[in-house]
Structure 1
Amino acid sequence: MAKERMGTRARLKSVDLSLGARATRVRKRLLPILQTALAAGIAYWIASEIFGHAQPFFAPISVIIIIGMTGGERITKAGDISLGCILGVLVGDLLFYRIGAGGWQIAVIVAGALLIASFFSRSQLVNNQVAIGSVLIATIMPPGGEVTGIDRTVDAFVGAAVAMVTLALIPQGPVGTARREIAKVMELMSSVLDDVADGLRGGGAAVIDDALESIRGSQNDIDAMSTALASGAESARLSPFLWGSRRYVHSLELVIPPVDTAIRTTRVLARRAHILCGDRDEVSPEQIALIDALANVCLEISDIYEVNSRKLQSVAIPRIVNELRILGGRTGMDVIPDGGVLSAYVILAQTRSLIVDLLQVCGMSRESAAAVLTPTSTSPKYPPERYV
Structure 2
Amino acid sequence: MAERMHTTPLPVTPEPKGWQKVKKFLSSRFRSGAWRARKALIPAATSAIAAVAAYAFAAIVFGHSEPYFAATSALISLGFGRDPHIRKALEVAIGVTLGILVGDALQALLGQGYWQGVIVVFVTILLARFIDSGVIFTTQMSIQAVLVVLLPIPVEGPLSRSVDAVIGGVIAIAITMLTPVSFRKEAVAGMRELFTSITGTLRELSSALEEQDSRSGWVALIEARGLQSKIDSVRAEISQADQTATYSPTQRSTRQDLQEMSRTLEKTDLAVRSLRIIARRVITVIDEFDTRSPKGDDLERMSVWFSDAADAVGILGRSVAEPVAPGRHRSLSVARNALGAATTKLTPRNLGAHTLHGEALVMMCRPMMVDFIEATGSDHHEASSYLPNV
Q: TM-score higher than 0.5 here?
A: yes
Alpha-carbon distance, 1:59 to partner:
2.0
Query: Is the contact made by 1:196 and 1:273 (CA closer than 8 Å) also made in structure 2?
Result: yes
Which structure is richer in relative contact order (CA contacts within 8 A, separation 6 or more)? Answer: 1
Aligned to 2:238: 229
Aligned to 1:133: 141
Q: Write the distance in 1 (CA, Å) between the matches of 2:82 and 2:53.
A: 18
Q: 1:296 aligns with which of 288, 299, 311?
A: 311
State the structure with more CA Rg.
Answer: 2
Query: Is the contact made by 2:124 and 2:142 (CA closer than 8 Å) also made in structure 1?
Result: yes
Q: 1:80 aligns with which of 91, 100, 103?
A: 91
Q: Write the distance in 2 (CA, Å) between the matches of 1:353 and 1:218.
A: 18
TM-score (norm 2): 0.71
Alpha-carbon distance, 1:173 to partner:
4.3
Q: Write the distance in 2 (CA, Å) between the matches of 1:273 and 1:292.
A: 14
1:248-284 Cα deviation digits (max 9, x unpaired): 3332232221122222222222233234435557743
Q: Write the distance in 1 (CA, Å) between the matches of 2:331 and 2:241.
A: 24
Aligned to 1:3: none
Q: Write the distance in 1 (CA, Å) between the matches of 2:238 and 2:259.
A: 9
Alpha-carbon distance, 1:183 to partner:
1.5
1:63 aligns with 2:71: no
Alpha-carbon distance, 1:81 to partner:
2.3
Aligned to 1:46: 53
Q: 2:336 aligns with which of 317, 321, 332?
A: 321
Q: 2:282 aligns with which of 262, 269, 273?
A: 273
Alpha-carbon distance, 1:373 to partner:
1.2
Alpha-carbon distance, 1:313 to partner:
2.5
Aligned to 2:24: none
Q: Write the distance in 2 (CA, Å) between the matches of 1:149 and 1:132.
A: 19
Give the 3-state SS of the residue equivalent to 1:266 in structure 2: helix
Q: 2:130 aligns with which of 116, 124, 129?
A: 116
Aligned to 1:23: none
Aligned to 2:25: none
Amino acid at match of 1:81: V
Amino acid at match of 1:68: D
89-98 or 159-168, which moves further after superposition? Answer: 89-98
1:286 aligns with 2:301: yes
Give the 3-state SS of the residue equivalent to 1:272 in structure 2: helix
Query: Is the contact made by 1:92 and 1:133 (CA closer than 8 Å) also made in structure 2?
Result: no
Q: 2:327 aligns with which of 302, 312, 335?
A: 312
Q: Write the distance in 2 (CA, Å) between the matches of 1:224 and 1:267.
A: 18
Gaps in structure 2 of 5+ consecutive residues: 1-35, 59-65, 291-295
Q: Write the distance in 2 (CA, Å) between the matches of 1:106 and 1:95.
A: 7
Q: 1:357 aligns with which of 361, 364, 371?
A: 371
Over 3 Å counting, the alpha-carbon distance change for 1:101 and 1:347 in structure 2 is farther
1:204 aligns with 2:213: yes
1:188 aligns with 2:197: yes
1:58-105 Cα deviation digits (max 9, x unpaired): 321211178325xxxx22223322333344345555569885567xx7
Percent identity between matched residues is 18
1:207-249 Cα deviation digits (max 9, x unpaired): 2333333333333322332233223333433443444443333
1:368 aligns with 2:382: yes
Q: Write the distance in 2 (CA, Å) between the matches of 1:162 and 1:31.
A: 25
Aligned to 1:379: none
Alpha-carbon distance, 1:30 to partner:
10
Over 3 Å counting, the alpha-carbon distance change for 1:82 and 1:152 in structure 2 is farther
Query: Is the contact made by 1:66 and 1:160 (CA closer than 8 Å) also made in structure 2?
Result: no
Q: Write the distance in 1 (CA, Å) between the matches of 2:93 and 2:225.
A: 40
Query: Is the contact made by 1:82 and 1:157 (CA closer than 8 Å) also made in structure 2?
Result: yes
Q: Write the distance in 1 (CA, Å) between the matches of 2:280 and 2:386.
A: 25
Query: Is the contact made by 1:43 and 1:59 (CA closer than 8 Å) also made in structure 2?
Result: yes
Q: Write the distance in 2 (CA, Å) between the matches of 1:277 and 1:341.
A: 13
Aligned to 1:340: 355
Q: Write the distance in 2 (CA, Å) between the matches of 1:153 and 1:317.
A: 54
TM-score (norm 1): 0.71
Amino acid at match of 1:88: G
Q: Write the distance in 1 (CA, Å) between the matches of 2:280 and 2:204.
A: 12
Over 3 Å counting, the alpha-carbon distance change for 1:53 and 1:90 in structure 2 is closer
Amino acid at match of 2:219: D
Over 3 Å counting, the alpha-carbon distance change for 1:42 and 1:201 in structure 2 is same
Q: Write the distance in 2 (CA, Å) between the matches of 1:322 and 1:151.
A: 66
Alpha-carbon distance, 1:193 to partner:
0.4
Give the 3-state SS of the residue equivalent to 1:57 in structure 2: helix
Gaps in structure 1 of 5+ consecutive residues: 1-28, 118-122, 377-388
Q: Write the distance in 1 (CA, Å) between the matches of 2:353 and 2:230.
A: 39
Alpha-carbon distance, 1:128 to partner:
4.4
Amino acid at match of 2:384: A
Q: Write the distance in 2 (CA, Å) between the matches of 1:336 and 1:255.
A: 28
196-205 or 52-61, which moves further after superposition? Answer: 52-61
1:98-144 Cα deviation digits (max 9, x unpaired): 85567xx7995476224531xxxxx544x74245413542x443165
1:215 aligns with 2:191: no
* Aligned length, in residue pairs: 334
Amino acid at match of 1:312: G
Query: Is the contact made by 2:271 and 2:368 (CA closer than 8 Å) also made in structure 1?
Result: yes
Q: Write the distance in 2 (CA, Å) between the matches of 1:173 and 1:128.
A: 24
